[in-house]
């Protein structure tokens, strides 16, 4: 979780892959020194994703947990999209692949924070508004 939170707080603000790689190296080095963990022990899945929506969107006491089954993550968010679309006059037609689900998770994390806000960047048609709407729905 320490690496995940550092990547969200600092890594999401990096503008180049070189900067992100430098941050990853520093985080992995510090994890090895402080927590005595190897990179293989930390990254048991393709990427580290945490969220509070995996067990449903109802209720106020939703645990913020590590999502280890990434295929289940994609299916779960696709289910939320179907639920969202069922109540819409103009449903969103999204193809949710792992990167899109990772972005939805990041937006959900931001919405969870008090006074959370984000500046979503991307070319037109990249899905910023649609993913933000889906994350807002998932976050109630």
pLDDT tens digit sequence for 6-40: 999 999 999 999 999 999 999 999 999 999 988 88
The pLDDT of residue 49 is 94
Q: How far apart are the first and last CA of the chain?
A: 24
Residue 65's alpha-carbon distances to 48, 91, 129, in angstroms, are 11, 29, 25
Which residues span the domain enclosing 104?
70-140
pLDDT confidence of 110, banded at 50, 70, 90?
Answer: very high
- The answer to whether residue 59 scores a pLDDT higher than 80 is no
Mind listing the pLDDT tens digit for each residue in 69-97? 999 999 999 999 999 999 899 999 999 99
Which of the pair, 17 or 121, is modelled with greater confidence? 17
Mean pLDDT of 120-127: 86
Q: Is residue 60 part of a domain?
A: no
Q: Is residue 94 part of a domain?
A: yes
Instruction: Quote the mean pLDDT of the chain.
Output: 92
Q: Is residue 123 part of a domain?
A: yes
Spacing of C-alpha 4 from chain mean position = 10
Mean pLDDT of 30-59: 87
Q: Is residue 61 part of a domain?
A: no
The pLDDT of residue 51 is 93
Q: Is residue 13 part of a domain?
A: no
- Return the ∠ at Cα 95 (arms to 103 and 107), rounded to 5°: 20
The pLDDT of residue 107 is 96
Q: Is residue 26 part of a domain?
A: no
Q: Is residue 9 part of a domain?
A: no
In contact, 6 and 27? CB cutoff 8 Å: yes
The number of domains in the chain is 1
Residue 10's alpha-carbon distances to 22, 60, 118, in angstroms, are 11, 28, 13
What percentage of the chain carries pLDDT values higher than 70?
97
Q: Is residue 133 part of a domain?
A: yes
């Amino acid at each position: 979780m320490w690496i995940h939170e550092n990547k969200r707080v600092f890594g999401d603000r990096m503008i180049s892959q070189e900067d992100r790689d430098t941050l990853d190296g520093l985080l992995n080095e510090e994890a090895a020194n402080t927590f005595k963990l190897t990179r293989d022990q930390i990254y048991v899945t393709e990427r580290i994703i945490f969220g509070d929506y995996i067990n449903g969107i109802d209720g106020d006491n939703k645990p913020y947990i590590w999502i280890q089954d990434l295929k289940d993550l994609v299916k779960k968010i696709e289910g939320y999209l179907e639920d969202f679309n069922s109540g819409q006059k103009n449903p969103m037609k999204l193809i949710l692949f792992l990167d899109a689900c990772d972005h939805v998770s990041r937006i959900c994390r931001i919405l969870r924070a008090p006074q959370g806000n984000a500046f979503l960047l991307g070319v037109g048609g990249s899905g910023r508004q649609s993913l933000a709407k889906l994350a807002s729905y998932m976050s109630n």
